[in-house]
Structure 1
Amino acid sequence: MTEAKTLLLEQVRKYHHEAASRSAFVPGTTPVLPSGAVLDEDDRAGLVEAALDMKIAAGARCLRFEREFARTLGIRKAHLTNSGSSANLLALAALTSRQLGDERLVPGDEVITVAAGFPTTINPIFQNGLVPVFVDVDLGTYNTTAERVEAAIGPRTRAVMIAHALGNPFPAQDIARICADHDLFLIEDNCDAVGSLHKGALTGTFGDFATVSFYPAHHLTMGEGGCVLTPNLAFARIVESLRDWGRDCWCEPGEDNRCQKRFGYQLGELPHGYDHKYTFSHVGYNLKATDLQAALGLTQLRKLPEFGAARRRNWRRLREGLDGVPGLLMPSAAPDSDPSWFGFVLTVLPEAPYERAELVSFLESRRIGTRLLFAGNITRHPAYLDLRYRVAGPLTNSDIITERTFWVGVYPGLTDEMLNYVIASIREFATRPRHR
């Protein structure tokens, strides 16, 4: 590192401390956000250093992050993308590749998923000409069950694609066994659950693919960004091809002939020796990330254990502080799990003397941010009314979620003062006298 760069980065760190000084928390004035990025001087310096190096496309930092993130989660291969939504798209699209032969998914095949999910877990099913099979979830954990998944399997079912709800693991081990017994692929949407444990293993390690988001709301951030992880090298090559325009070549950016056969292939109906860098084996996309994003990801990755501990601590504080509040169903961790929580989810019970909208409005008026549990029952949204899907069993709880459920934040940027304010506000609203 040059002396000029060293001095500049020292100034960047100094600037961070001046710019990041926090004002005292003022209840009702200071926003209590449901989610957000927690950034320190290392993050700022890492971004600036990458900018000084003019690393503006995918390069060495992306490769380094992919290796370190895969190693952190104990998965063989990771590929960075421009978003978690793109990661979901790539994971499912990979299963339609002709390179899988008779095993590939074809239009009309079914993929089991939950109705109470985020659209980008579900959209890739439609976008690849496949048919979602929607199952319900349990209240409290907000995950589906292995029994519901197994009962939903039909003659054309080929895969299962489910997210761990707000960091709370679905029964991944049991569902992975069902998938193995029925020759189904399993995609774990791990975007909300990086660092969560199920039966002693990290979520994202049970399926054929796992996906992650690095949007600022998530456990780690790159601003925007995502990742596809897989233990299967053949799947990894397909993901890489689909992400990188669909090209067949696996040389990294700036490499011209690592395979020593750049002009030695004959593929498709091309002439022998056609440049492998311009040979395309998939109808692909350009969904790559940049080294600027990866630079932030690398500094964030070191803090994953700290962030997970804070999320667990904040969730416990809310759970203990809100225990016994009338009219509210408290959340619970899935059996045999240690979630790295994404949010603290509450459902207004039918017997409550108030509606969700009243409680949410009260909290928002106090600058306490709330969010709904994503789409609720997604089949009720206008985008999906005319699309082809199958429903396996009643979606009773998904409808309850649509009408009565919301969540508040547990992310590491929340202080004890903020959490105490959230607890006091919910208790005040739920216990105040009402006349009907």
Structure 2
Amino acid sequence: MSDDPQRTAIVEAARAYFESRPQPAFVPGETYIPPSGKVMDGADCAHLIDASLDMWLTAGRYAEQFERELAERFGRRHSKLTVSGSAANLLAFATLTSWKRGPKAIKPGDEVITVAAGFPTTITPIVQYGCIPVFVDVDIATHNVDVDALEAAITDKTRAVMIAHSLGNPFDVVRVAEICRKHDLLLVEDCCDAFGATANGQNVGTFGDIATLSFYPAHHITMGEGGAVLMDSPLLAKVTESFRDWGRDCYCAPGKDNTCNKRFGWRLGDLPQGYDHKYTYSHIGYNLKVSDMQAALGVSQLHKLDHFIARRRENFAGLERRLRAAGLDRYYHLPEATPNTDPSWFGYLMTVRDGSGLVRNQVTRALEDRKVGTRLLFAGNIIRQPAFKDVEYRVHGSLANTDKIMEDAFWLGVWPGIDEPRLDYMVETLADITRALIAGRDPVPSLSAA
């Protein structure tokens, strides 16, 4: 923050205004409980206003600070900010296709092993770069990849594994990383839902070659829209930055020139000797850069990450305790942490048990009618989605559990804005709906009567 008294007064007034805003009381049955959301405070507002007063509208001092602090907190040497977690996945995969990686570059036609149960943009970069996604099943307990199936799916065409840690619960990344080393495969860890989770005491996102994060408001911290790609390799960091910044070869920060001290001394491609390095392009790239105002919000939110993770774990445990006490584990598979991990939970996934007599859509519609927000495990089985109708892919083995999740799973929120009264209402409501449906009664009679 600045030492300018006038600027300080503006920033502090913004902080005070934000903190003085009244917070509406929770009214059970009337106040909607969203499954995800952001938690903001006066410090976030102050950072945002401070950055806006610079009128430096592209990446600047806050972006530099956030990238540095983010890499340190995540446990990697480099981080590159971008506009979303989906863009981060795109950049991460694009980086692995770069000609600068020589014979190790991923090429069209190569196979990449992944899972069909999850968010589409973990998979779409594989397709967009002309590679073949190979889908394997997940298990019901952890809703993560079946590692035996993953290893069995490897062929001489396999070049990489790209999988998300599902809803903050790590997949068995220790074993997957060992398999990747054994078979000389690249590993991309999508950590968008799992910032702060660990496996064997090590941060997820530090086992593979490259990792991604999302800072959408639903995620562990937010910068509004935003994401990041993280890695240890200086080459991968430079290539990611190139793809992000129009595909240029130059790596000067915005507003800077001649960082390499040979701006007019390069000879690249078929360009003339000395062609301006600022306008030399080494990749077919994008413009996926952030503003400094977004980064300022990220800097502030990162300071609260440990608290947010702790609250998510507390809410997960609170749901678990209440659901079991209500006997609802008879009707739903409750989620389990992957062995030897400490999840950083994004949501609480439940799957209707076979033979329970329940229909998932009846449960979720009733929950929504009674102001309890729900979500599915994103795309369900991605190959059933209309976007994948004409996509070339391969399925190894059965996707029976993936289909089960598509048909019968849903999740409830654990984000830090959920408190004890909300947890009580969520579970009491689910229990009442479950009993009503089992008994053949309408779970929302008052709404039906209206």
TM-score by length of 2: 0.95
Deviation (angstroms), 1:429: 1.8
Residue in structure 1 matched with residue 291 of structure 2 by the alignment: 290
Letter of the structure 2 residue corresponding to residue 87 of structure 1: A
CA distance in 2, matches of 1:258, 1:356: 57
Q: Does the residue aligned with 1:372 lie in a helix, a strand or coil?
A: coil
CA distance in 2, matches of 1:414, 1:44: 21
Residue in structure 1 matched with residue 4 of structure 2 by the alignment: 2
Residue in structure 1 matched with residue 20 of structure 2 by the alignment: 18
CA distance in 2, matches of 1:138, 1:185: 23
Residue in structure 2 matched with residue 53 of structure 1 by the alignment: 54
Contact 1:220 1:297 in 2 (8 A): yes
Residue in structure 2 matched with residue 315 of structure 1 by the alignment: 316
Residue in structure 1 matched with residue 89 of structure 2 by the alignment: 88
Deviation (angstroms), 1:18: 2.3
Residue correspondence of structure 1 range 259-270 to structure 2 within 5 A: 259-270=260-271
Q: List structure 1 segments (4+ residues) > 3 angstroms apart after TM superposition.
A: none
Letter of the structure 1 residue corresponding to residue 409 of structure 2: T
Contact 1:196 1:340 in 2 (8 A): yes
Deviation (angstroms), 1:173: 1.0
Q: Does the residue aligned with 2:148 lie in a helix, a strand or coil?
A: helix
Contact 2:374 2:412 in 1 (8 A): yes
Letter of the structure 1 residue corresponding to residue 358 of structure 2: Y
CA distance in 1, matches of 2:8, 2:103: 56
Letter of the structure 2 residue corresponding to residue 2 of structure 1: D
Residue in structure 1 matched with residue 109 of structure 2 by the alignment: 108
1:105-143 Cα shifts (integer Å, max 9, x gaps):
111000000010100000000000000000110002000
Q: Does the residue aligned with 1:322 lie in a helix, a strand or coil?
A: helix
Residue in structure 2 matched with residue 434 of structure 1 by the alignment: 439
Q: Does the residue aligned with 2:218 lie in a helix, a strand or coil?
A: coil
Deviation (angstroms), 1:353: 2.0
Contact 1:353 1:434 in 2 (8 A): no
Residue in structure 2 matched with residue 117 of structure 1 by the alignment: 118
Letter of the structure 1 residue corresponding to residue 310 of structure 2: A
2:402 to 366, 377, 398: 398
Letter of the structure 2 residue corresponding to residue 374 of structure 1: F
Letter of the structure 2 residue corresponding to residue 226 of structure 1: G
Residue in structure 2 matched with residue 188 of structure 1 by the alignment: 189
Q: Does the residue aligned with 2:167 lie in a helix, a strand or coil?
A: coil
Asked if residue 384 in structure 1 is aligned to residue 388 in structure 2, the reply is yes
CA distance in 2, matches of 1:187, 1:154: 18
Residue segments in structure 1 that go unaligned for 5+ positions in a row: none
Between 201-210 and 53-62, report the one with greater CA deviation.
53-62
Deviation (angstroms), 1:250: 1.0
Q: Does the residue aligned with 1:371 lie in a helix, a strand or coil?
A: coil
Residue in structure 2 matched with residue 366 of structure 1 by the alignment: 370
Letter of the structure 1 residue corresponding to residue 366 of structure 2: F
CA distance in 2, matches of 1:51, 1:97: 36
Contact 1:59 1:291 in 2 (8 A): yes
Q: Does the residue aligned with 1:187 lie in a helix, a strand or coil?
A: strand
Deviation (angstroms), 1:435: 4.3
CA distance in 1, matches of 2:25, 2:273: 69
Asked if residue 357 in structure 1 is aligned to residue 358 in structure 2, the reply is no
Q: CA RMSD in A?
A: 1.0
Contact 1:69 1:301 in 2 (8 A): yes
Contact 2:312 2:344 in 1 (8 A): yes
Letter of the structure 1 residue corresponding to residue 121 of structure 2: T
Q: Does the residue aligned with 2:107 lie in a helix, a strand or coil?
A: coil
Letter of the structure 2 residue corresponding to residue 124 of structure 1: P
Sequence identity (%): 53
Contact 1:62 1:291 in 2 (8 A): yes
CA distance in 2, matches of 1:293, 1:17: 20
CA distance in 2, matches of 1:345, 1:94: 32
Q: Does the residue aligned with 1:293 lie in a helix, a strand or coil?
A: helix
Between 165-174 and 252-261, report the one with greater CA deviation.
252-261
Residue in structure 1 matched with residue 72 of structure 2 by the alignment: 71
Asked if residue 301 in structure 1 is aligned to residue 302 in structure 2, the reply is yes
1:236-294 Cα shifts (integer Å, max 9, x gaps):
11101000001001111111112111111111111111111111111111011110100
Deviation (angstroms), 1:354: 1.8
Residue segments in structure 2 that go unaligned for 5+ positions in a row: 442-450
Q: Does the residue aligned with 2:133 lie in a helix, a strand or coil?
A: strand
Deviation (angstroms), 1:55: 2.2
1:146-181 Cα shifts (integer Å, max 9, x gaps):
211111101200000000000000011110110011
Asked if residue 412 in structure 1 is aligned to residue 413 in structure 2, the reply is no
